[in-house]
Amino acid sequence: MEIMVSEVKPVVITPSNLPWITVAPGVQLKELTGRVAPLGARSELGSVALFQLAPGSASAWSHNKEGEESFFVLKGHGEIRTGSDVQPIGPGDYILIPPHVVRSISASRGEVLEFYAITTPAWSQDDDVLVAPPEGASL
């Protein structure tokens, strides 16, 4: 039995060639793959975005209804907050956020925080729920 090899070639995306999209003051991203990614890199199965948080900035408090989200820290230091729990993060750290977990990620005051956010299935605005900071949260 011969296995057929697809002629489809992989898509190579160079993040430096993509524009930054500002999503909140001090928070910007580049969508590498996902529902609204560049042509040839669109997917509903998963999404990957490169995030950059300015020193002292934080993402909005939110959770996903269905999507599981992972963060992989590339550079800088900060904190991941889930409710009143705060954990330090830095280069090489990997954070797994199950659906329904309210969270916010922040950059330390003195440095930019850069990380990949991977969401499965692909991130959608309908799945993302913005919320007020939980009681006892420090942000």
Specify the CATH number for the domain of residue 105: 2.60.120.10
Q: Report d(CA 104, CA 10) in Å as an integer.
A: 33
Q: Do 32 and 41 form a contact (C-beta atoms < 8 A)?
A: yes
Residues of the chain with pLDDT under 70: 1-6, 138-139
Q: What is the pLDDT of residue 135?
A: 80
Q: How many other CB atoms are found less than 10 A from the CB of residue 89?
A: 21
| 4 occurs within a structural domain | no
Check residue 99 and report its DSSP letter. Answer: T
Q: Note the pLDDT of residue 127.
A: 95
Question: Is the distance from CB of 26 to CB of 87 less than 8 angstroms?
Answer: no
Specify if 136 maps to a domain: no
Instruction: For residue 30, tell me if it sits in a domain.
Output: yes
8 in any annotated domain = no
Q: Which domain holds residue 92?
A: 18-124
What pLDDT was estimated at residue 43? Answer: 95
pLDDT at 51: 98
84 in any annotated domain: yes
pLDDT of residue 4: 65
Encode pLDDT of 91-108 as tens digits: 999 999 999 999 999 999
Q: What total number of domains does the chain contain?
A: 1
